[in-house]
């Protein structure tokens, strides 16, 4: 029995990792968040970089060079950094976000439209998957600090979200299992161990996939998880069916009931898991907005 479970788990892992290598643009992707305070009116925000590859093309190479981008590109950096083609036109205190492949090393460039002047930071580097920088302009000087608190809390939110989804999945499947005549300790252990392994593998795959692929592959991956669990249960769980043990039902009837159980349990946990994931996303957004005020208090600490 244990050999069969290990075989199907390894098979699932090979299929999953094999499909991941098809795309070259895989792995965790960095995101950059820039919180800007101390400035009013309209202004342009851009990034200066020494490398265009991997961090967006340079403004001079862009086919659609807007007037705002031309203004940013006129800045002559002392270290020879050039303006990238991605920029933001904003007003007042705001947040700029580069959520896919930002430059690893850069300078933050701000152009004040009303005062017709530039502000440029010292060299900054990405320091985590979610790198956050707080930019403050006061008395004509620009100050930049890392937003470590925001990154730590975001990571904590994701860990808590995963644990909650895992616990809910286990509780749902165990509860349905007991109602479906699988009340033995051995049967519940199979369900628990199988769910822990499949959920961890699923979340690892979702983590390394770019967000674009997650939107299209989330449901197919859930279907794969269902099939893997159904196969494992069909070969192992029927033995702990009370009707099978008592000789009331034949083996094929018990296996069919196992398959139905796997479908109902996975469908229920999928719906609730999607709701929890959506709540986690909303909480992450509220957390980011709420920490703006906290950042101002911690700025001088």
142 is a domain residue: no
Residue among 195, 159, 237 at smallest CA distance from 9: 195
Q: What is the mean pLDDT of residues 25-43?
A: 76
Torsion sign (Cα): 140, 119, 96, 90 = positive
Q: Are residues 93 and 79 in the same domain?
A: yes
What number of CA atoms fall less than 13 Å from residue 167's CA on the CB side? 7
Q: Are residues 22 and 165 in the same domain?
A: yes
pLDDT in tens, 260-272: 888 888 888 788 7
Q: Are residues 22 and 156 in the same domain?
A: yes
pTM: 0.53
What are the contacts of 207-214 at 24+ separation with CB within 8 A? Answer: 207/28, 208/20, 208/26, 208/27, 208/28, 209/20, 209/26, 210/25, 210/26, 210/29, 210/100, 211/29, 211/99, 211/100, 213/23
Q: Is the pLDDT of residue 113 over 70?
A: yes
Give the domain extent around 285.
2-26+151-293
Name the domain count of the chain. 2
pLDDT in tens, 183-217: 788 888 888 888 889 888 887 777 666 555 666 77
196 is a domain residue: yes
Q: Are residues 59 and 16 in the same domain?
A: no
> Helix (H) and strand (E) counts for the chain?
7, 9
* Structure-token match 């494992």, residue found: 232
* Structure-token match 């961890």, residue found: 200
261 is a domain residue: yes
Q: Is the pLDDT of residue 143 over 50?
A: yes
Encoded tokens for 32? 């950059």
Q: Are residues 112 and 252 in the same domain?
A: no
In terms of pLDDT, which residue wins out, 22 or 47?
47
């Amino acid at each position: 029995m244990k050999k069969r479970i290990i075989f199907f788990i390894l098979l699932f892992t090979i299929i999953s990792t094999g499909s991941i290598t098809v795309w070259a643009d895989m792995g965790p992707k960095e995101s950059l968040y820039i919180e800007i305070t101390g400035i009013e009116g309209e202004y342009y925000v851009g990034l200066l970089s020494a490398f265009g590859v991997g961090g967006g093309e340079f403004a001079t190479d862009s086919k659609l060079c807007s007037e705002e981008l031309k203004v940013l590109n006129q800045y002559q950096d002392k270290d020879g950094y050039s303006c990238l083609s991605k920029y933001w036109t904003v007003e007042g205190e705001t947040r700029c976000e580069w959520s896919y492949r930002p430059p690893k090393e850069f300078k933050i460039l701000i152009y004040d439209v009303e005062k017709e002047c530039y502000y440029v930071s010292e060299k900054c580097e990405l320091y985590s998957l979610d790198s956050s920088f707080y930019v403050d302009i006061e008395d004509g000087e620009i100050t930049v600090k890392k937003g470590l608190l925001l990154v730590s809390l975001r990571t904590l939110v994701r860990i808590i979200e995963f644990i909650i989804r895992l616990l809910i999945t286990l509780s749902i499947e165990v509860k349905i299992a007991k109602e479906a005549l699988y009340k033995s300790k051995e049967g519940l252990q199979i369900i628990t161990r199988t769910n822990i392994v499949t959920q961890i593998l699923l979340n690892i795959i979702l983590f390394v996939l770019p967000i674009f692929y997650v939107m299209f592959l989330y449901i197919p991956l859930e279907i794969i998880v269902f099939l893997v669990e159904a196969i494992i249960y069909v070969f192992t769980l029927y033995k702990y069916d009370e009707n099978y043990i008592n000789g009331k039902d034949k083996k094929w009837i018990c296996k069919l009931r196992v398959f139905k159980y796997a479908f109902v349990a996975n469908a229920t946990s999928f719906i609730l898991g999607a709701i929890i994931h959506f709540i986690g996303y909303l909480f992450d957004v509220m957390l980011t907005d709420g920490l703006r005020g906290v950042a101002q208090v911690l700025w001088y600490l």
